[in-house]
Amino acid sequence: MTLRERRALRAAAQAELDHLETQIRSLTRSFDDIVAANEQANTDDEHDPEGTTIAWERSQVSALLRQARLDREAVLATLARIDTDESFGVCATCGQAIGHERLLALPATTRCVRCAARGSWET
C-alpha cells in the first residue's frame, strides 16, 4: 500500500467516524426524547397501545445506537491500525489484499470482497 493510499484511507475512516459521531448524538437525543415522553405519559406498556408504540420505538432506537457504537469502535480500531499494523488492508480470511476501493468504501472491513460474499454476515 502506498503512502498516498494510506492517507486516503485515513481520511475515509475519519469521515466515517465523523458521520457515526453525528448519528450517535442524534440517536441519543431521540432515545432521551422517547424516555421523557414515556415518563410524561406514564403509560403501561402491557395495556396501553401508545405505550406499546413507545416501547417499540425505544427498542428500535436502542438497537440502532448499539450498532452505531459498534461501528464507531471498528472505525477507531481501523484508524489506530492504518499507520501501525503491517497486516492492515490484508484479508483476515484468505490473506490477499482487500483492495483500495473496497477499503475506501468500508474502512473498517477486515475481509476482501470474495470472502465477504461467502459469509453474508460480514461486510
What residues make contact with Zn ion under the rule CB under 5 A?
A: 91, 93-94, 112, 115
Shortest spacing between CB 86 and Zn ion, in angstroms: 17
Of 41 and 94, which has the nearer Cβ to Zn ion? 94
Shortest spacing between CB 15 and Zn ion, in angstroms: 25
- H/E element, 81: helix 49-82
What's the CA gap between 99 and 111, in Å, rounded? 10
Of 37 and 104, which has the nearer Cβ to Zn ion? 104
Of 106 and 115, which has the nearer Cβ to Zn ion? 115
Shortest spacing between CB 14 and Zn ion, in angstroms: 25
Q: Which of helix, strand or coil describes residue 110? A: coil
- Phi/psi of residue 108, each to 5°? -90, 0
Q: How many CB atoms lie within 10 A of CB 74?
A: 20
